[in-house]
Structure 1
Amino acid sequence: MAYTATRGELEGDVRDVLARWLPPRLVPETHSDFEISEFSAPDAGYSGKTVFFTASWSDIHGVRRRADLVLRMQASDHQLFVEPDAVRQAEVMHRLGRHPGVGTPDIVLIEPDPRVLGAPFYLMRRVHGRTPSDVPSWHKRGWTVELTESERETLCDNAIRALVAVHRIADENDLAYLRNGSGTTGGTALHRYLDRLREWYAWCRGDLVVGSDVLAEALAELLDHAPETDAEVPVWGDARVGNMSFADDLSVAALFDWETATTGPPDIDLGWWLMFERYLCEALGFTRLPGVPDDDETVRRYVEFGGRPTGDITYYTMLAAFVLALITNRLALLLARDGLDEATARTYPTTAVELTRQYLADHIARRSTTS
């Protein structure tokens, strides 16, 4: 979920700084006439400031060159996560994007020094493709609705294959990087994930807008009945089609938004995938479009394409809904602060909390029948 900076926030001083700062880092010394276009902002969320722009210059032969770029700055005035880290996200994309089937944007440069633009940032090459929408839901409006049933099936299959490719990464150096960024040590990857979740909940508990009782009960269930597994793969943390760019042939061009990347059982991502599609579809009163698989079919295809779930998916969908409820509670505060009416802002966490309630009941029922 990436915060969209307005043109006024990043134009002016930032463009002037980049115009002076970028040339020796981006283009040959023999260039001339370096220019930066006006900024434009993508449709996005709230965890970092994102703008598009084009840098252009003339090479030694007078030929005009250009680079379509994305500037991503770390947010400092509206945190969804406890410790946002733009530099780490860029490094994650750089590392994981080298593996087969895992397309990530090409990282051009990373600047950790906040003195340059006021916050750490990175630049990546813009990926030209189409991304399914969250608002309005891609299940209801947008270019995905105009696809044929067969095309939507292709899109979803390609998306699931990309998720499987992420979970196939076994490079120990990359796993160590993801693991060491978690801030906790000891225990299994799932235990470490839950330790961080407990800390995150404690950080935002006092600011919950809705669902405090449900979330307290769900956290107790998550901690007291965690599956016994030592599975550890890269966990994207925000695995869904809305964080993918698709080429014209519906292949996956790039995977975005790696703020919460870590390690753990692959079920964490799979549960998030299932939960988020329900959040954008059935929870809003929509019906899945022809060609879009339901939960059971999504899991079946994930396994068919090489994925290896480790256990009870009802636990991981409950986990995902709990995480989304924390995020959207925080988001509601930020949206209201920035001018959205409170009733509308509260709809996001209200829907997520209701999903948490449903998944919690499902997990308790399943646990009762298998114990």
Structure 2
Amino acid sequence: MSSLASDADEGREIARPTRSQRDPEWLRERLNAWIKTRAGDDAEVTEVVLPSANGMSSETLLAEALIDGAPQSLVVRVAPVAESDPVFPSYDLDGQYRLIEHVAATTDVPLPRLWWSEPDPAPLGAPFFVMSRVDGRVPPDVMPYTFSSWVTEATPDERAEMARRSVEVLTRIHAAPIEGSGVEPPREGETPLQAHLRRLRDFYEWASRDGVSSPLIERGFAWAEEHRPAETETVLCWGDSRIGNIIYDGFTPAAVLDWEMATVGPRELDIAWMIFIHRFFQDITELAGLDGLPDFLTRDQVATDYLAASGHQPHNLDYFTLYSALIHAVVMYRIQTRAIHFGQAEAPADPDDMIMHRKTLEAMLAGTYWGSIK
């Protein structure tokens, strides 16, 4: 399955051990030689930085370059090296590049400028693509923006505007044509949601290939199959539709990032993921004894904002928010198995303890979670 990097973030450093790093000067020299083949002999890469808050799937490099005599701040997304025991079994960086290119050409979704894609692993040791850096601010994951951040310091009206405009981004993405996107279609006889479930199950079975499985995740799969709703209109879905993947200018989205989860399916996949990931951070914040942002990105308000922006009334959000929690559980499970592999975590006696939001998923399966939300 494509990357499901919801960045559960307490495991970020565990999930990105030092052996997965590349040397910045080696990268600069290699990238400098490569960029001349694309932008001419006068092009030069002057600096490459590996940000400390790099992600858990593909790696992000920040580069400064001169192209046609003008300074350019670039972002280079690089597939992980094999020896880093990647979180996901495969990485299609060129496919992500082509998808972003497609969305940019067919919608008004705010996106970074794309420069080049390099599917050949020879220049940097793995495939990569290059895009412009976009100025702005991103809701932090470490510590989560619900603890103390520019989001919590905003006024209620500013946060309402931020939520509304973020939901509007989903409606713009969902207006993109599926044809030409390059996103993997369902198999013959499958619905898009059935295909999504199959790929999630395949990823889970790959992640649990050492023989240790999670009874809670297995229960989640059984529930998701048994309660799978009739499907509504199929659209192009962003997949990792969370505000932590948006760069904001003030409270307005300036760039949408991270398309590795992109799929086709019901638009509720994106709507519910945006709701659930906020609840994930909010639950952590409340466990720490803090107020967080209980009135931000609520299920009812996201649905209302989506209806106002698109004319589509979201359906079956109980199902799709639980399914989001299941997706997130599989990712968390894989992150922890990887940490155990690197000796940076010990295997718990109960495999379900590898799921950080275990209690949330259990409550959702029991039908008690949303009733406990004030």
The TM-score, its normalising length taken from structure 1, stands at: 0.84
Say if 1:163 and 1:55 are closer, same or farther in 2 by CA, change over 3 A: same
Which residue of structure 1 aligns with residue 144 of structure 2? 137
Say if 1:252 and 1:81 are closer, same or farther in 2 by CA, change over 3 A: same
Which residue of structure 2 aligns with residue 187 of structure 1? 190
Give yes or no for contact 2:62–2:76 (8 Å, CA) kept in 1.
Answer: yes
Greater mean deviation of Cα atoms: 254-263 or 70-79: 70-79
Shift of 1:255: 0.9
What is the alpha-carbon distance in structure 2 between the residues aligned to residue 348 and residue 99 of structure 1? 43
Shift of 1:203: 1.6
In structure 1, runs of 5+ residues without a counterpart are 367-371
What is the alpha-carbon distance in structure 2 between the residues aligned to residue 161 and residue 310 of structure 1? 14
Matched, 1:69 2:79: no
> Which letter maps to 1:26?
A
Q: Which residue of 349, 357, 362 corresponds with 2:362?
A: 357
What is the alpha-carbon distance in structure 1 between the residues aligned to residue 362 and residue 117 of structure 2? 41
Per-residue CA distance 1:81-131 (angstroms, 9 max, x = gap): 232211111111111123334122222100111122111111111111111
Shift of 1:214: 1.2
What is the alpha-carbon distance in structure 2 between the residues aligned to residue 191 and residue 301 of structure 1? 27
What is the alpha-carbon distance in structure 2 between the residues aligned to residue 256 and residue 227 of structure 1? 29
SS in 2 for 1:51: strand
Aligned residue runs from structure 1 range 150-299, under 5 A: 150-169=157-176, 171-175=177-181, 177-180=182-185, 184-206=187-209, 212-247=214-249, 249-285=250-286, 286-289=290-293, 292-299=296-303
Give yes or no for contact 2:232–2:266 (8 Å, CA) kept in 1.
Answer: yes
Shift of 1:288: 4.2
What is the alpha-carbon distance in structure 1 between the residues aligned to residue 75 and residue 94 of structure 2? 14
Which residue of structure 2 aligns with residue 37 of structure 1? 47
Q: Which residue of 19, 22, 28 corresponds with 1:9?
A: 22
SS in 1 for 2:356: helix
What is the alpha-carbon distance in structure 2 between the residues aligned to residue 101 and residue 342 of structure 1? 46
Shift of 1:283: 4.1
What is the alpha-carbon distance in structure 2 between the residues aligned to residue 305 and residue 316 of structure 1? 20
What is the alpha-carbon distance in structure 2 between the residues aligned to residue 325 and residue 138 of structure 1? 21
Matched, 1:300 2:300: no
The percentage of counterpart residues that share the same residue type is: 26
Pick 1 or 2: higher relative contact order, CA cutoff 8 A, min separation 6: 2
> Which letter maps to 2:275?
L
Which residue of structure 1 aligns with residue 119 of structure 2? 112
Which residue of structure 1 aligns with residue 10 of structure 2? none
Say if 1:349 and 1:296 are closer, same or farther in 2 by CA, change over 3 A: farther
What is the alpha-carbon distance in structure 2 between the residues aligned to residue 304 and residue 365 of structure 1? 23
Give yes or no for contact 1:151–1:291 (8 Å, CA) kept in 2.
Answer: no
SS in 1 for 2:271: helix
> Which letter maps to 1:226?
R
What is the alpha-carbon distance in structure 1 between the residues aligned to residue 210 and residue 258 of structure 2? 25
Greater mean deviation of Cα atoms: 138-147 or 115-124: 138-147
Give yes or no for contact 2:278–2:297 (8 Å, CA) kept in 1.
Answer: no
Aligned residue runs from structure 1 range 71-86, under 5 A: 71-75=76-80, 76=82, 77-86=84-93
Shift of 1:293: 3.6
Say if 1:253 and 1:82 are closer, same or farther in 2 by CA, change over 3 A: same
Greater mean deviation of Cα atoms: 279-288 or 297-306: 279-288
What is the alpha-carbon distance in structure 2 between the residues aligned to residue 36 and residue 186 of structure 1? 52
What is the alpha-carbon distance in structure 2 between the residues aligned to residue 284 and residue 349 of structure 1? 19
In structure 2, runs of 5+ residues without a counterpart are 8-14
Greater mean deviation of Cα atoms: 277-286 or 331-340: 331-340
Q: CA RMSD in A?
A: 3.0
The TM-score, its normalising length taken from structure 2, stands at: 0.84
Per-residue CA distance 1:19-74 (angstroms, 9 max, x = gap): 112123125x6x37x342142416232101111010026x5xxxx51111011111
Greater mean deviation of Cα atoms: 250-259 or 140-149: 140-149
Shift of 1:224: 2.1
Give yes or no for contact 1:207–1:330 (8 Å, CA) kept in 2.
Answer: no
Aligned length: 351
Give yes or no for contact 2:282–2:294 (8 Å, CA) kept in 1.
Answer: no
> Which letter maps to 2:356?
T
